[in-house]
Amino acid sequence: MKNILIIGGSKGIGNAILQQQLQSNKVINISRTAPEITNTNLTHFSADISKDELPEIENIDSIIYCPGTINLKPITGLSLDDFRHDFEVNVIGAIKTIQKYLPVLKKGNKPSILLFSTVAVKLGMPYHASVAASKAAIEGLVKSLGAELAPTIRVNAIAPTITDTTLAANILRNDRMKENMVERHPMKGYLNTEEVASMANFLISDQAQSMSGQIIPMDYGIVSFKI
């Protein structure tokens, strides 16, 4: 049984990872709101990653940083504060977490770090300037830290396409928009949280010991194919 630290496990992808991990591991969750689940293997700390001091934790085998933003506006509609906010949530929060817990993580059992990017880093998409810029920084962080922390700590990221979460509710707000999103993807679908959680579980598992510095696309073909 491992000790998995999840930042942002109360909703969306983070919550799906949390629920899957609780089946076999101890989970420490840090988020502003508590997950709507109780379990003897779950410890929750309420904190705003961008503002609050992070709690002391004694044992960590994996860190999974889940917070993200979907701030879709034309470049002329994005303020510098929009860019700062997206960078704060997506990048600075991850760095803050890693720096805080790295000494503990180094003592873990086959330790790993998992972050999240987006398909918009590889696929130019209108109105994604702010989120794509901050997530591109995450991909650079994965490569750099993967090299720096090898061979002790593995560092990887998942780059998902649109996922059916509350964060994406405005993009998937009715059946027509959902159908259009399905048609945009060559594999005729888009992600649900359980799919992403399953990939996350694999990447922090002992089965992925050969993998570090990798950005794993989960894109239903939208980046890879033109059909």
CATH class, domain 3-163+191-218, is alpha beta
Residue scoring higher pLDDT (136 or 71): 136
Task: Please state, in angstroms and rounded to a whole number, the distance separating the CA atoms of residues 86 and 135.
Answer: 9
- For residue 173, count CB atoms less than 10 angstroms from its CB and return exposed for 0-12, middle for 13-18, buried for 19 or more: exposed
Domain boundaries, the chain: 3-163+191-218
* Residue of 122, 119, 113 lying closest to 142 (CA atoms): 113
pLDDT of residue 209: 97
**214, two tokens:** 């990798």
Instruction: Kindly compute the dihedral angle of the four CA atoms of residues 75, 169, 183, 20, in this order, to the nearest 10 degrees.
Output: 120
Give pLDDT tens digits for 37-86: 999 999 999 999 999 999 999 999 999 999 998 889 999 999 999 999 99
Instruction: Kindly compute the dihedral angle of the four CA atoms of residues 127, 129, 165, 88, in this order, to the nearest 10 degrees.
Output: -140
Give pLDDT tens digits for 79-129: 999 999 999 999 999 999 999 999 999 999 999 999 999 999 999 999 999
pLDDT class of 173 with cuts at 50, 70, 90: confident
pLDDT of residue 203: 98
